[in-house]
Structure 1
Amino acid sequence: MTDLLNNAQWFVLIGGLLVFMGLTFTVIKRLPVTSAIIYLAVGMLAGPTVLHLFHFNPLKESALLEVLTEVAVLISLFSAGVKMPVPVRFSNWKAPLLLASVSMTLTVAMVAAFAYYLLGLPLGAGVLLGAIVAPTDPVLATDVQIRHASDNDKLRFTLTCEAGMNDGTAFPFVMLGLGLLGIHDLGDAGTQWILFDVLWATVGGVLIGIICGVILAKVVWILRGKQHRHKLLDDFLGLGLIGFVYGLSVMANTWGFLAVFFAAVALRQTENQLAVKSTRKNTSSQKMPSTVSKGSLIFKEHLERLSELVLILLIGGTLFIDSWSWRAVVLALFLFFLARPVSVFIGLLGSRTSFRVQAISAWFGVRGIGSLYYLMYAIQHGLPEHIALQLMHFTLIVVTLSILLHGTTVKPLMNRFWR
């Protein structure tokens, strides 16, 4: 997988880091930085930046990295979905819907224009780069996301819901970029792209997710009810729902990330509705059956933390000192300080979202594992190597700077916001 370190040394490195994080959890929680910064620092220290104990080559290992990032994003999306407050109301979802659609599109357009006119990339590569770095990340944004199923904080809900949906809305622009590069068929005047990559893939993914989530919730409720009282494995059910929904949506040529997120949302919403109905009918003090969304959440969060550690460690192991080119740094600064804030404020016009929520949302557009997945997806689908190398360079610096900038500001700013 990587140069220099053997398997035993990798076990020592990752195992030692896990032990360190476990022993110092309370101390690290009090620090004004996120755990992702520690993983990144260890990766850069052991990688080619300092000690050169190992070097991870994303282009050479693109197939492996695609699978790793894919699994990490899916687990994170499920965890975010089952923590969505109930019931679903359009008034609550309006802001994140606007961020995941209008703001997302504006960010892609601005990054594409920047890449085309200032970085000299082909238009298709610029659109693809915009699609890669525009979506906020559900894996690395845990410090600004909903903490539990009863968390009704407006800001955390908006950022969590946006991260859950824009991983699906980014895909049409990924396909558009590949199409402009001649790798994907867009159809005459883009009709195939609009009908299938935008409309069908989006609507179909949402429907598949909702239907599967509702069905699983009702089946589990019946099996755990008064008549059956079956003991079930919530962890297996949660993982099974993720795998089944994602595989089915990909087979149906829809966006699997979107399907998994809405499957988790539908699962929790349906379980809550069934519990409310049961409470109204049952006047006794009989204990309500446990739910899949609650029972599987802790296990999913542990998997999410483990995947974050491994992937951020590998990101640190990709960087050389000369990876920090001015072109990549300027792109990241343009994205964080101009494209993201402008797109958020424009997207939320007329949404009645408070200025404080808009301002914090404009800054905390964390980029991370999702961006790496889209890049690996494009590489695996025939992206030319010379373009892949450029986009990889830009993406890694954007993700690294996002970890550093957002990771050092999230706790102080969020504490001040809540106070």
Structure 2
Amino acid sequence: MAIELYHVALVVIGLALLGVTVLQLVASERPVSLPIFFVAFGAAAFSVPGIPAPDPLEQGLLAEHLAELGVIIALMSLGLKIDRPASLRGWSSTWRLLAITMPLSIAGAALIGWWLVGFLLPTAVLLGAVIAPTDPVLAGEVQVAEPGEGGVNEEDSEPRFALSSEAGLNDGLAFPFTNLAIAIALVGLAPGNWLGEWLLVSVVYRIVVGTFVGVVLGAILARLVFATAPETRIARSVEGLEAIAGTLLVYGLTEIVGGYGFIAVFVAALMIRRYEHDHEYNDSLHQISELAEQVLMALIMVFFGGAIAGGLLGPLTTEGILAALAIVFLVRPIAGMVGLAGFDLPWSDRGAIAFFGIRGIGSFYYLAHGLNEAAFADADLLWAVVGTVVLVSVVLHGVTASPVMNRLH
């Protein structure tokens, strides 16, 4: 009897989704995160003869859109948890990480890619851009608590808040640098007006539009969501579904008008969270978005493990391995400490924020998007280096996150 790959895929996906619930019991009391399990399961499942492994180079559009969906759902889930009102002073750690740490990380990774690995300039710039965003999907252990439990005025919540707010915003702010790499790959560094267009459109216009649409649609959605409480049985059965609907609506409309949808979704989530701050329905919104986030995380990590089994890391060179390790152990920690220099926090807290620059699904999205938009030399090696960065981050940060955060608190 012939075994259909479709049925095998259903089994693999079903086991992954079952793991979202069952593995919570295994991992909750241990210094290990769920993504580690899913990557290992994916590697084992797709190592079985006859099951074709995922290939993000061959299936670039699928990789891009699956990662895209995972990121936007995670951004909504994250924004719905943040209790601290947005302000220049209250979010000062966030602004430091975005304005100083992020550009330094991009420059450092690009320099390592060019000097150590031997990437051409467009590929090196793309490497810097795709490892820039800290991941809102895989960073559950270092994020703020559930809605209403964030400890807004507690000093020991600062590392969690800084990492959460950074992950919420730098996913969108990595886009201009990805577009810069695409522009260099398409037209090179020849004189022309493309640099001015990049600054005006990719940096200014799209960020401003994304922020504006997020504020407006977030305010509208907040009023709609909290206008009436669900009273009927059917209405109660879909409690919180507005979070998913809002995510798709905000992201799609923002992209249609040319803004950055990642920024808009996170800003909209913050607007919804602040509108009825103490309303119990906030829990329903967060629960459904977090469930969707966990499901997509499981699937993406299983496919990532399958891609590793299929040879994703095969093109790695010694220089590529060293570059990936340098990005995780040197670039982000150093850039993080520079960005937080002089900030009124204990060294242990600043060190934790600098260290936990978790890389993950956001990097997959930007890399797949960049390669779908332009031709880059050594694309297979670039995927191998980025895959190694994510794999090291998943294991290293997944094992250390809970013990370190518990010790800080």
Q: TM-score, normalised by structure 2?
A: 0.89
Unpaired runs of at least 5, structure 1 = 276-287
Question: Equivalent residue for 1:373?
Answer: 365
Q: Counterparts of 1:125 and 1:324 in 2: how far apart (Å)?
A: 15
Match of 2:112 in 1: 114
Does residue 343 of structure 1 match 2:335? yes
**Cα separation, 1, equivalents of 2:249 and 2:284:** 19
What is the deviation of 1:53? 4.2
1:180 pairs, out of 177, 184, 187, with: 184
Aligned partners of 2:225 and 2:197: how far apart in 1?
A: 39
- Structure 2 matches for 1:225-374, cutoff 5 A? 233-272=238-277, 290-291=280-281, 293-319=282-308, 320=311, 322=314, 324-374=316-366
Distance, in Å, in 1 between the alignment partners of 2:135 and 2:241 is: 25
Q: CA deviation at 1:178?
A: 0.9
SS in structure 1 opposite 2:133? coil
Identity of aligned residues (%): 32
TM-superposition CA deviations, 1:328-349 (whole Å, max 9, x none)? 3211211112110111111122
- Which position in structure 2 is the counterpart of 1:96? 94
For the aligned residue pairs, the C-alpha RMSD in angstroms reads: 2.5
- Counterpart CA distance in 2 for 1:400 and 1:38 is 12
The worse-fitting range, judged by mean Cα deviation, of 66-75 and 174-183 is: 174-183
Q: How far did residue 184 of structure 1 move?
A: 9.2
Structure number with higher relative contact order (C-alpha < 8 Å, ≥ 6 residues apart): 2
Segment of structure 1 superposing worse, 137-146 or 115-124: 115-124
TM-fit CA distance, 1:45: 2.1
Report what 2:380 is aligned to: 389
Q: Which moved more, 1:370-379 or 1:7-16?
A: 7-16
Q: Which of 202, 209, 217 pairs up with 1:204? A: 209
Tell me how far 1:209 sits from its aligned partner. 0.3
- Maintained 8 Å contact 1:245/1:260: yes
CA offset at residue 143 of structure 1? 0.9
Aligned to 1:105: 103
CA distance in 2, matches of 1:213, 1:187: 39
The residue type paired with residue 168 of structure 1 is G
State the distance in 2 between where 1:132 and 1:31 align. 30
The answer to whether residue 154 in structure 2 is matched with residue 163 in structure 1 is no
User: In 2, distance between residues paired with 1:380 and 1:149?
Assistant: 37
Query: Given residue 90 of structure 1, which amino acid in structure 2 is its aligned partner?
Result: L
| Distance in 1 (alpha carbons) for counterparts of 2:9 and 2:250 | 33
Closer/same/farther in 2, CA of residues 382 and 31 from structure 1, 3 Å limit? same
Q: Report how far residue 161 of structure 1 moved.
A: 0.4
1:107/1:130 contact within 8 Å kept: yes
Decide whether the 8 Å contact of 1:101 with 1:169 is kept in 2: no
Shift, 1:154, TM fit: 1.4
| Alignment counterpart, residue 132 of structure 2, candidates 131, 134, 142 | 134
In the alignment, which residue of structure 2 is the partner of 1:15?
Answer: 14
Q: CA deviation at 1:173?
A: 0.4
Q: CA deviation at 1:223?
A: 4.2
TM-superposed deviation, 1:393: 1.6
Q: What TM-score do the two structures reach when normalised by structure 1? A: 0.87
Q: Quick check: 1:366–1:402 contact (8 Å CA) kept in 2? A: yes
Q: Go from structure 1 to structure 2 and tell me whether the alpha carbon gap of 1:24 and 1:124 turns closer, same or farther (over 3 Å shift).
A: closer
**What is the SS of the residue equivalent to 1:182?**
helix
Q: Is the 8 A contact 2:358 2:393 kept in 1?
A: yes
Note if contact 1:95-1:353 (Cα within 8 Å) is conserved in structure 2.
no
Deviations 1:304-348 (A, max 9, x none): 111111111111111237455322321121111211011111112
